[in-house]
Amino acid sequence: MNKVSALALGVALSLGLAACSSQPTGSNTVQQQPQLSSGISPTNMDTTVAPQQDFFRYVNGNWLSSTDIPADKARWGSFDELRENADKQVLAIIQELAATAHAKGTDGQKMADLYRSYLNEELINVLGLNPLRGEIARIDNLNNAADLSRYWGENQQFRVGTPLALYVGQDQRQSDQYITGASQAGLGMPDRDYYLKDDERSKVLMAQYASFIETLWQLAGWDNAKQAAANVLAIETRLAEAQWSRIQNRDRNATYNKLSKAELAELAPGFDWPGFLTAAKLNDIEHIVVRQPSYFTAFAKIQAEVPLAQWQQYLKFHLLRANASNLSEPFANASFDFYGRTLSGLQQQRSREKRAVSTVESNLGFMVGKKYVERHFQPAAKERMDEMIENLRLAFKEAINELEWMSPQTKVEAQAKLAQFNTKIGYPDVWRDYQCLTIVADDLIGNLQRSGECEYQRMINRLGQPVNRDEWGMTPQTVNAYYSSTMNEIVFPAAILQPPFFNVAADDAVNYGAIGGVIGHEFTHGFDDQGRRSDGNGNLRDWWTNQDESQFRERAQRMIDQYSNFNPIDDLRLQGALGLGENIADLGGLTVAYKAYQNATKDQPAATIDGFTPEQRFFMGWAQVWRIKFRDEALRQQVITGPHSPGMYRVLGVLSNMPEFYQAFEVKPGDAMYREEDVRVKIW
């Protein structure tokens, strides 16, 4: 089952990557100890490539040439290596738990029995479609539009076949309160653009999707599979045509539309909003934030025009689609063949043990995280991170003061926001409890349904309560980090604090280039094209002068133009407007990290290690972080749907704008890494 929307936690941006307050620690926090290594991996480098020509390949070329993407992966890089390692550590924990008996209702029992329920493939195969028979009957018994709207409301806890998605999160304009929001949803493909493109490759892919719908329909033993697939595809295409693009959905002002229930009914007339909200347990709300108003208007029209029988086909397909990987082998294989092989280029399915671990993490993530932290988190890493974060904060403060394009008035507001940044490192101070969830060893589908109910109830229970500042949006074993605009905080889970991101045995140059750049990335998210719209309290508020706004936009447009010229595969170019926030965060983050490193080591001798100066090691640390290889299918999907630029462009795009890099590696006009000064971008 799909989990509650990430929007429930407010607007968050991940590396995907998020920082706190105390007195800056200054230069004495960085210790150049002789025993520290350079942190550079020479065996990964291709020194036949000049750093001035292609710095990504110079640092990572041998790794790129000698590394094969594992058969069960769509991509492979530094993130994926750490995730694989974290998964193995979690697997060991869960297998130990599964090997012993536990009292009913304990953490050990829940983790062990959820794992066992997934591994019991023999029972799953015997059951076939039986675990869904009751839900199928509910769909078949829908009699009218009112029944349909109530069904969609009830199904919010499972996110299955719901063209509208409800969530409860912080109010972006009153961040000390929770509010209900609503967003477009309901597609089986990763993005609306898959339905709208008319090139030959897209047509073939949509035909394969239609075939997948037919396959699931036939496996269920239902008649008229081809017609059912055509009807489902027609509905989804109409929804896709009405949906906002990912670029439009980035606009935090355009997607904040606070309406009363009466105004919602006027916006999207004809839909049974009272029935829908009552079934979703949200009838008592007074207001709702609608993210895409025009979609809601179009949806109400589509809902009324599509015959009920076709909606029932749509609902039954999505019930199968959402559960297929957890059903008997034919369903699981069909799901993998389309979503794994066709869409992502995978060559083989992950082992059942790996998939079982993912299921446990998806549903009991913080329970698992508590065990993970006990075994694998290094307190020394947190101490060193605290120091680096405060050095980055001080450097960002200096960078704001030094901006030539920003007025004193706006600088005051920016400094106030920076001072209010909060930081979370490693793991939560307060662990999430799962008392609401009952896990049974022989009921996989039931376990997942009860998990959806539990998480949905947890989410809607926020309404009327104080905002929970202790809540985390990622588990400790997640290799990532994030910035939350409504919390105004940056968060670094324990699992990312490992090489190549963070190496306690390495000198500070490579650490500032790697995890320092990540810290700076998260700081800068608070000041990217969307993060800058919030103040230090996390409220959506315009604190910019008109002139500063214009200056920012001009620089941002140059960045959009730069990245839109990158062509990673076929005729697909990066969407500069979609990736703008991440690219601003990369450039600003590494620029500030460099300043922080210079400040912290200004009284220390510049030690050359492994033949590289500190400045060179700094940039090599950044390039190591983003080593990655994609399967073609996964790369296309990343370009179409992902805000993050593929790894090589997070290196080439950033460094070609930094004069500090030019100086460290003597980049000159005519070099491929060189950009003329008048087209370089500097925002922060």
Q: Could you list the active site residues?
A: 522, 586
Distance of alpha carbon 473 from alpha carbon 457, whole angstroms = 17
Distance of alpha carbon 646 from alpha carbon 203, whole angstroms = 25
Distance of alpha carbon 223 from the chain centroid? 39
Would you say 660 and 550 are in contact if contact means Cβ atoms under 8 Å apart? no
Would you say 663 and 614 are in contact if contact means Cβ atoms under 8 Å apart? no
Distance of alpha carbon 178 from alpha carbon 282, whole angstroms = 13
Residues in Cβ contact with 24 at an 8 Å cutoff, skipping those fewer than 6 apart: 390, 391, 393, 394
Q: How many CA atoms lie within 13 A of 196 on its CB side?
A: 14
Would you say 613 and 660 are in contact if contact means Cβ atoms under 8 Å apart? no
Query: How, if at all, do strands 482-484 and 287-290 pair?
Result: unpaired
DSSP 51: T
Distance of alpha carbon 194 from alpha carbon 82, whole angstroms = 31
Task: Produce one character per residue of 164-190: b if its CB has 16 or more CB atoms within 10 Å, e if not.
Answer: bbbbbbbbbbbbeebbbbbbbbbbbbe
Would you say 400 and 411 are in contact if contact means Cβ atoms under 8 Å apart? yes
C-alpha distances out from residue 39 to 30, 208, 494, 556, Å: 15, 46, 20, 33
Task: Produce one character per residue of 6-31: b if its CB has 16 or more CB atoms within 10 Å, e if not.
Answer: ebbbbbbbbbbbbbbeeebbeeebbe
Element (H, E) at 414: helix 408-419
Q: Is 281 helix (H, G, I), strand (E, B) or coil?
A: coil
Residues in Cβ contact with 307 at an 8 Å cutoff, skipping those fewer than 6 apart: none
Entry field: residues in the chain: 684
Per-residue three-class SS string for 605-626? CCCCECCECHHHHHHHHHHHHC
135-138 — which CB contacts under 8 Å span 24+ positions? Answer: 135/319, 136/316, 136/319
Q: Is 487 helix (H, G, I), strand (E, B) or coil?
A: coil
Element (H, E) at 90: helix 78-98
Per-residue three-class SS string for 492-503? EEHHHCCCCCCC
Residue with tokens 């995907």: 16
Distance of alpha carbon 620 from alpha carbon 546, whole angstroms = 39
Would you say 215 and 334 are in contact if contact means Cβ atoms under 8 Å apart? yes
